[in-house]
Amino acid sequence: MACEDIRSDHLVAFAKGLLDGDGAPSTVGNYMWHLSSVFAIARPAWGYPLDGGAMKDAMTVCKRLGYIAKSKQRGRRPTQDELDKLMAHFVERSQRRRRSAPQAQDHCHGSLLDQARERDLWSLLE
């Protein structure tokens, strides 16, 4: 399909296809958000005749129809045993492969803390 022929109903059908293919509404939203970035700059940056208005309309329709939604809250946190296994893996890998990032354990801890809720962090500090 030519760029100038893409309409909002094509984009909505694309989103629906992702949803029907076992994609979660949050995943569909992620795809559509990235695609909307392309539509926003395609014409001024590269001269591709994509209609940014069609993308905006498609996003509105997808939100209203529930094709796009925020991700579900995650309540599960890793157990201490799971954390110990992760740390053991990173230590073993850094010993086995000297070129691996020596700060992998720190990155793992940082990622876990980034994902933690504020109240969880406060409970750790108390």
pLDDT in tens, 48-60: 999 999 999 999 9
pLDDT for residue 96: 76
pLDDT in tens, 87-118: 788 778 777 776 666 566 666 666 666 655 55
b/e map of 61-93 (b: 16 or more CB within 10 Å)?
bbeeeebbeeeeeeeeeeeeeeeeebeeebeee
